[in-house]
Amino acid sequence: MTTSVSGGLAIEGLHKVLGGRSIIHSLDMAVRPGELVSLLGPSGCGKTTTLRMIAGFLTPDAGSIKVGGREVVNLGPEHRPSAMVFQNYALWPHMTVAKNVGFPLKLRKRPKAEIAERVDAALTLVNLMHHKDSRPARISGGEQQRTALARALVQEPELLLLDEPLSNLDAKLRVKVREDIREIQQRLGITTVIVTHDQEEAMSVSDRIAVMNNGRIEQFSTPADLYSTPATEFVATFIGSLNRLEGRIEDGRVVPGAGVVGIRPEDVVFGPEAHPRGLAATVERVVPRGHFAELHLRREDAELRSYVTGVPPAVGTSGCARIEKWLEFEDGQLVGQGTPA
Amino acid sequence: MPRVLSRGVVVLLAAVLALFIIGPLAWLAVRAFAASWTYPDLLPDAWTLRWWSVVFSDRALGVAVQNSLFFAPITVLVSAAICLPAAYAFARFEFPGRRFFLIGVFAANSFPKMGLFVSLAALFYALNLMNTILGILVVHVLGTVVFMTWIPAAAFAAVPRSLEEAARDAGASKLRTFFSVTLPIALPGILVAAIMSFLSSFDEAQGTYLVGAPDYMTMPTQMYSLVLNYPTQVAAVFSILLAIPSVALLLAAHKHIVGGHLAEGFQIK
């Protein structure tokens, strides 16, 4: 399989009304060539609608979609330079794995020898040569997923679209397949858009993530940036875990106020000894989370969750909890970040 | 012990059922080769192939066989041409009156057949369709509309839209998608509908008799006169001939639909 330099994706002023309800409100997004971008958001946020408009299954009411600089918004899906991997894989049950993968080339009227060669290359890429002549019903979910991926890649598309590609796989396989997808994507340098509702999945594979809510992009940035500097309260709560408290922080304690304070659990430090910036706290609950534990702490000003590694303190332990870093929101927007003076 | 008992009951019930289904057919088969068969005897007194030669040498009966073999396949083709597009539309599009038409397809089956045929005959006299091939075809196709619409509609509806979308995404036009993806996947359902339509046309007697007799006699309409005018053995021979297509089609269906790879996608092995 040759490395193709694919074009980028540019979406401008995308708008869609479905059933009298505005689903997408003037959405803008630019994906750089070779970049992997996730559309992340809760169900009903418009991420799948957006992907289906990019693929050509839905016609936007307004806006432009450019792939590699070429306007595609008026083209049917069969004429767009994008290839999609469907959530349920959508393999054709009456064709073998090889026929499924070869069908897009057959449609392009490529010579038989070339089809055979490219099908073999695509199946080798996804490590599925041994199931070449199997029918989709006879192979496992993960293998079906890889077949669907091969069918998309064999087209050498300028843009690869994946709709919740991992949601039908079990947890262990999901991690493996998402690493495979990322590895192949980087090797081929193919511009990719993934729709997912799983923030961990988005964080682990994406160059950048567009967090969507109510048909709008709340923030479009790198995973690290989204976590450390969420633009809105929604992004802060959706990405990672957050202590969300009403009020503001003064001298290390939460005091009543108009805004909202967000504190990541790892920024709440609990220890047995008193600390000048801390307040007395009691452990109310301990939730083991594998290599760390989540503590539910009661302080006189608030209830806080905190992550600790190592052996967690027992329920009922008294100690001192301090806040090392926090985010300040007003009307849902980030207005500042705080650290102790 | 209770296990053996329950097994015995199952075997007994199966035997009774087999006797109930196969018994009359076996009687028919023996009858077709009997020279004479008097009441208390379990088997005929003498065997003969005379009744078969009667059937095969009788021109009227030969014509009836020919007519049946003409009308049944043509009926299936005409019915498919008319009903399959409708079935696809019912399965894939939401249009005004969809439910009304879907139920309306049952109209021909929801009245007593004879009443329908009499009013049809009145209409056919006005349209000069009595005693015509076209008239008989209309009657036969009418009887297949329900099968040819409902079963394929269900088959089309069962094809996941994402499979069609995947084909479009891969570069197929709407028409190509239909013929390469939708139709092959819906094919088992369409074959079942075609077989049922074939058999329904092959068995149709009342309407054919009313519209076609005496110019166009098919095997079932010929049966009426056979039962009245020929020895019972000839009717037995003719019944066996009439049953051959049904049995052959059902065996073929079993092999190709239930046993074939098409069943895999439907998990109805």
Domain ranges of chain B: 59-265
pLDDT digits (tens, 9 = 90+) for A255-284: 888 889 999 999 999 988 888 888 889 999
Among residues of chain A, what percentage have pLDDT more than 70?
Answer: 98
Domain chopping of chain A, boundaries? 9-231, 241-338
Q: What is the pLDDT of residue B76?
A: 95
Per-residue confidence at B257, pLDDT binned at 50, 70, 90?
low
Residue A335 CA: distances (Å) to CA of A220, A234, A244 = 18, 14, 15
What share of chain B in percent tops pLDDT 90? 30
CATH of A9-231, one of 3.40.50.970, 3.40.50.300, 3.40.50.720, 3.40.1160.10: 3.40.50.300
Question: A79: which chain B residues are within 8 Å (Cβ-Cβ)?
Answer: 171
Q: Assign domain A241-338 one CATH number from 3.60.20.10, 3.40.309.10, 3.40.640.10, 2.40.50.140.
A: 2.40.50.140
| A92/B261 Cβ within 8 A | no
Interface test with A, best of B94, B169, B174, B269 (most A CBs within 10 A): B169
Query: In whole angstroms, what is the distance from residue A82 CA to residue A14 CA?
Result: 18
Chain A residues touching residue B165 (CB < 8 angstroms): 57, 77, 84, 86, 90
- Nearest-CA distance from A140 to chain B in Å? 14
Q: What is the pLDDT of residues A158-186, one digit of tens each?
A: 999 999 988 888 888 888 888 989 999 99
pTM value > 0.95: no
Task: Look at A195 and B50; give whichever has higher pLDDT.
Answer: A195
Type of residue numbered B3: R
Shortest alpha-carbon distance between residue A107 and chain B (Å): 6
Quote the pLDDT of residue A151.
95
Label the pairing between strands A159-163 and A191-196: parallel
The residue of chain A nearest to residue B171, with distances taken between CA atoms, is: A78
Q: Give how far A78 is from chain B: nearest CA, Å.
A: 4
Q: How confident is the model at residue B266 (pLDDT cuts 50, 70, 90)?
A: very low
**What is the b/e burial string over A307-331, where b = at least 16 CB atoms within 10 angstroms of the residue's CB?**
bbeeebbeeebebbbbbeebbbbee
- What b-and-e string marks burial along A67-86, b requiring 16 or more CB atoms within 10 Å of the CB? bbeeebbeeebbebbbbbbb
| DSSP state letters, B182-204 | IHHHHHHHHHHHHHHHHHHHHH-
Count of pairs with CB atoms under 8 A, one residue in A, one in B:
71
Contact B170 A78 (CB under 8 A): yes
Q: Could you say which of A57, A91, A103 has the minimum Cβ distance to residue B165?
A: A57
- Cβ-contact A36, A194 below 8 angstroms: yes
CATH says B59-265 is which class? mainly alpha
CA–CA gap between residue A326 and residue A30 (Å, rounded): 31
pLDDT of residue B256: 67
Q: Do A135 and B162 touch (CB under 8 A)?
A: no
Contacts with A57 from chain B: Cβ below 8 Å: 165, 168-169
DSSP letter (8 states) at residue A38? E
Q: Using CA atoms, how far apart are residues A281 and A271, in angstroms rounded to an integer?
A: 9
pLDDT in single tens digits along all 341 residues of chain A: 444 456 789 999 999 998 888 889 889 999 999 999 999 999 889 999 999 999 999 999 999 999 988 999 999 999 999 999 999 999 999 999 999 999 999 999 999 999 999 999 999 999 999 999 999 989 998 899 999 999 999 999 999 999 998 888 888 888 888 898 999 999 999 999 999 999 999 999 999 999 999 999 999 999 999 999 999 999 999 998 999 999 888 888 888 888 899 999 999 999 888 888 888 899 999 999 888 999 999 988 889 999 988 888 889 889 999 999 999 999 889 998 888 87
Query: Who among B163, B176, B180 is closest to A90 (CB)?
Result: B163
> Strand runs (DSSP E) across chain A, as ranges?
9-18, 21-31, 36-40, 62-67, 70-71, 82-85, 159-163, 191-196, 208-213, 216-221, 243-250, 253-263, 268-271, 279-288, 292-299, 303-309, 318-323, 326-330, 333-338
Name the residue facing A94 among B176, B185, B267 (closest C-beta): B185
